[in-house]
Amino acid sequence: MLKEKIEKLNKLDSKLSAIFFAQSLLEWDSETIASDGGVEERAIVAGEISEIYFNTFVNDETKALLEELDERKEELDQVTKAIVFLYKRKFYNIAKIPVEDYTDFQVLISKSYSAWEKAKNNKNYSIFAPFLTEIIKYQKKFIKLRGKGGHPYNTLLDDFEPGITVEILDEFFSELRKNIVPLVQKVCDKQNNEIDFINKKFDIKKQEEFSKYIMPKLGFDTSRGMMTTSAHPFTLNLSRNDVRITTNFKEDDITNSIFSTIHETGHAIYEQNIDEKFGLSALTTGVSMGIHESQSRFYENNLGRNINFWNVNFPVIKKMYKKELNDITVNDWYRAVNHVKKSLIRIEADEVTYPLHIMVRYEIEKMIFSDDIDVNKLPDIWNDLYEEYLGIRPENDAEGILQDVHWSGGAFGYFPSYALGSAYAAQFEHAMRKDIDVDKALKNLEMDEIKEWLKDKIHKYGSSKMPSEILKEATGETFNPEYFIKYLYNKYEI
């Protein structure tokens, strides 16, 4: 009897994973190569696929199956137990939402991406505002239907980082702001600002060549993944054997493409190194966005902005750009890629000011789901907060509220994961350095030892463990943001 129920669960898991695969493929096409003219038809298809997923998953049979297996969880192997836990959590997250609302929302966000892209290109928030208004209405409705209680925003935060609440984040961000604001000012007052060479014209084809060079050096398996470009860099896993990333190239900002590529490669390495025993199942993806961002930001900042990393890789890039970097030393380059600046664009921000960018988004999202805010006033709220937190004000919507893609996909609650990811990364690095010589590995560009540590402690588990469990087992401690604060002060205090 139990064996039959496990087989039924595995069939359900296989079917849902296949539907999700199709959804992801459609998303990939929509955000990379699909024509603008096909938006409406793609939205219809997205809605149909979402309805199939919903009806396959949310029904009395699935509910009974999950409850029965959960009651006998002590008799289940670890993988099956993890699948039951994951699907039970997912089931009760969407079961109270009517299928019509669920599919209509998917159609809306499918159309919304194109509206956001058009609005950003035209620096005109009013193009996107009607879509954002509807997305917020749906999310507020879903929060009420799900009925989790507490602060409304907690429901969305928990979707991206299980266990994280407004109360935890308020304390976390308060501690960061208290320590980071004085550090930013101190560094900006004393650092060497002679880094104009970084804004010369750098041929885009050579930037792409460097990206394709560095990805496998970091540990990305090119036989199980690919890279292209998009308006906003992202990573998408169809399976552990088909992980796709996008980056973005700017002729007058070479560091943008380099660190976007390294960041997304960190995400991709995580996905590629999940244990193959999970197959094409719900467990074959990162456990949370906080843990996921810890991996991307670990590669981007803890490794990618380390002097030992550039001692090996700067000669490669200098050879590509002999004219542009003729008189530049590795120390000049290192200083430039770690330059601290109060800037407007999150994905171009240095690692010291970056958390302040996240705090702006966190405060706005918290406002949206605490009060009835006029969506048309959000650009002004955004600009005011940038002036308060960073002392600068966006001149247009593209460098302000339209710079990120997340809200077009309804991803409210995601942004705090970036700051959590930076803090997790520092905690992981502290633990890693007890086991291996990170600097020696970087000097020799021998990344396998680093990748294997991450695989053994984090990657291989996929979604089979909770984020807090992975963090505690990998580092021996619960979440401790002090490691991130110490990391920043040790590196940047002059």
Tell me: the pLDDT tens digits for 317-349? Answer: 999 999 999 999 999 999 999 999 999 999 989
| Mean pLDDT value across residues 241-268 | 96
CB 99, CB 55: distance < 8 Å: yes
Burial call 396-417: b when 16+ CB within 10 Å, e when fewer: ebbbbbbbbbbbbbbbbbbbbb
Q: What is the pLDDT of residue 135?
A: 98
pLDDT at 232 over 90: no
pLDDT at 494 over 70: no
Specify the residue for token string 């994961």: 417
| Mean pLDDT value across residues 68-96 | 96
For the stretch 258-300, pLDDT in tens is: 999 999 999 999 999 999 999 999 999 999 999 999 999 999 9
| Mean pLDDT value across residues 174-198 | 93
- State whether residue 340 is helix, strand or coil: coil
Residue 253: other Cβ atoms inside 10 A:
17
Q: How far apart are CA 390 and CA 383, in angstroms?
A: 10
Q: What is the pLDDT of residue 262?
A: 98
For the stretch 208-225, pLDDT in tens is: 999 999 999 999 999 999
Single out the residue of 34, 35, 30, 59 nearest to residue 46, CA to CA.
30
| Mean pLDDT value across residues 185-207 | 93
| Mean pLDDT value across residues 47-63 | 97
Tell me what the pLDDT averaged over the chain comes to: 96
pLDDT at 493 over 90: no
Q: What is the pLDDT of residue 368?
A: 97
- The pTM of the full predicted model, rounded to 2 decimals, is 0.95
pLDDT at 371 over 90: no
Catalytic residue (one of 117, 134, 161, 264): 264
Q: What is the pLDDT of residue 231?
A: 86
For the stretch 87-106, pLDDT in tens is: 999 999 999 999 999 999 99
Give yes or no: 324 in active site: no
For the stretch 148-169, pLDDT in tens is: 989 999 999 999 999 999 999 9
